[in-house]
């Protein structure tokens, strides 16, 4: 039997990149998956089609997780489609690079509203849908929460907040049998890094990564599946670095 058979998962920001890979891997292990997206309906529909063509179950649901009304609709549509909730992957996020002198109120609030407040609001709403058996929440963080590279101070701070929220909420929700952990990728090659022109700068990390390359989305998704599954039933409040050894 697949390790997630009969489970229902919501993955935010799942129309491309790491989120899309997570959705596909969860479905491959038997979960019915809600593929959330903010703007890329085409990408989300493609992920759903890939899951269904492999024999899995999935639906795409639009929603900006920085907006409470969208979050409420996301989970209402999840319930309508699949009836329950067992797994939440808080993957949606935004990256903006700026040195100290270029930080503005606008880019601060854009990043914190989605990366931090969005995670809080999504987790709050999800609590209404988990059953008495609890479940698993996995938050996508980043190596930058501790590596703290120059020129990305606000983004770094949002991911440090994600790590802290994971540890704090794990203590608050353990009695409800809900486990919460963070997965912290190193540099990952995605559609987003290509469009932002980041692949070449990221390649510099390959020289200092013990495994000798930058990561791919499919390097991250199996770690999320592990933390979502009963295999990690005694793990909560932890931060799992998936970085090829880069620290």
Please pick, among 37, 129, 155, 241, the residue that the annotation labels catalytic.
155
**Distance between CA atoms of 147 and 158, rounded to whole angstroms?**
13
Helix (H, G, I), strand (E, B) or coil at 184: strand
In the chain, where do the E strands start and end?
A: 8-11, 32-37, 58-62, 87-90, 135-140, 178-185, 239-242
DSSP state for residue 127 in the 8-state scheme = T
8 Å CB contact between 126 and 137: yes
**Distance between CA atoms of 247 and 245, rounded to whole angstroms?**
6
8 Å CB contact between 182 and 162: yes
8 Å CB contact between 218 and 19: no
Q: Is 241 a catalytic residue?
A: no
Position of tokens 């793990």?
235
Closest CA to 62 of 103, 12, 117: 12
Phi, psi of 188 (to 5 degrees): -125, 135
8 Å CB contact between 190 and 214: no
Which residues form the catalytic set? 155
């Amino acid at each position: 039997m697949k390790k997630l058979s009969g489970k229902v998962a919501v993955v935010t920001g799942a129309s491309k990149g790491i989120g899309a890979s997570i959705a596909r891997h969860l479905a491959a292990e038997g979960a019915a998956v809600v593929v959330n997206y903010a703007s890329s309906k085409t990408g989300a529909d493609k992920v759903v089609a890939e899951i269904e063509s492999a024999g899995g179950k999935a639906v795409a649901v639009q929603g900006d997780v920085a907006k409470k009304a969208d979050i409420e609709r996301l989970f209402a549509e999840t319930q309508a489609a699949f009836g329950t909730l067992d797994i939440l992957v808080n993957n949606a996020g935004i990256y903006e690079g700026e040195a100290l002198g270029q930080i503005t109120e606008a880019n601060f609030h854009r990043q914190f509203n989605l990366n931090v407040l969005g995670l809080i609001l999504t987790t709050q709403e999800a609590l209404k849908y988990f059953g008495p058996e609890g479940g698993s929440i996995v938050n996508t963080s980043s190596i930058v929460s501790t590596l703290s590279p120059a020129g990305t101070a606000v983004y770094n701070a949002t991911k440090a907040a994600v790590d802290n929220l994971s540890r704090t909420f794990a203590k608050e929700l353990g009695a409800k049998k809900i486990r919460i952990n963070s997965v912290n990728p190193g540099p990952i090659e995605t559609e987003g890094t290509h469009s932002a022109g980041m692949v070449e700068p990221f390649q510099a990390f390959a020289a200092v990564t013990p495994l000798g390359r930058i990561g791919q989305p499919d390097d991250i998704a199996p770690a999320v599946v592990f933390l979502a599954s009963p295999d990690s039933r005694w793990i909560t409040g932890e931060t799992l670095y998936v970085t090829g050894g880069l620290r």
